Amino acid sequence: MAKARGLVAVNFEECKGCKLCVDACPVDVLHLAKSFNTHGYSPAEYDGEGCTGCGICYYACPEPGAITVFKRWEEAQEAYICHNNNVQSRLSLQDSVRGLALCDSCGQEVILSDFLNLRFAE
Ligand code: SF4
Ligand code: SF4
């Protein structure tokens, strides 16, 4: 089995529950949640482990911003730039299913699917 070095984060409110990503994932680590978002869709949800970072779900998804894939999560979490203290920090993963982490510098929760508002060192 391919090494789990990636991390996938679904923006539950952007997801329309079409299931294309679930069917496309070659290692079967996505499913539809049993709950609904505010639009009435059951969003895709990560099993919480096993993502290889292949990116296939990202390309399968028709909704811009619904899926973020961190291809090399361990490198990304060390390169995080804290937007409060404007320093390079580290992300501590809190909830891989919901895509939540804590910034080691400021202690605030970071929503990993909010990728456009996250910064990382080169
Ligand atoms: S990046 Fe690849 S392994 Fe990870 S959830 Fe998406 S399709 Fe599955
Ligand atoms: S492909 Fe995109 S819109 Fe469809 S279920 Fe997956 S994340 Fe949601």
In a domain, residue 90? The reply is yes
Domain total in the chain: 2
Could you tell me if 63 and 28 lie in one domain? yes
pLDDT digits (tens, 9 = 90+) for 74-101: 999 999 999 999 999 999 999 999 999 9
* Ligand 2 near 8 CB (within 6 A): no
**Res. 3 pLDDT band, cuts 50 70 90:** confident
Could you tell me if 40 and 56 lie in one domain? yes
Domain range for 85 is 73-120
* Ligand 2 near 67 CB (within 6 A): yes
Q: Which of 30, 61, 96 to mutate to test the pocket of ligand 1 (most atoms within 8 A of CB)?
A: 30
- Alpha carbons 9 and 12: distance in angstroms, whole number: 9
Counting atoms of ligand 1 from 1, which one is nearest the CA of 67? 6
In a domain, residue 100? The reply is yes
Q: Where are the alpha helices (DSSP H) in 14-116?
A: 20-24, 56-60, 73-78
Counting atoms of ligand 2 from 1, which one is nearest the CA of 22? 6
- Alpha carbons 120 and 101: distance in angstroms, whole number: 14
Could you tell me if 54 and 92 lie in one domain? no
Could you tell me if 51 and 87 lie in one domain? no
Could you tell me if 12 and 24 lie in one domain? yes
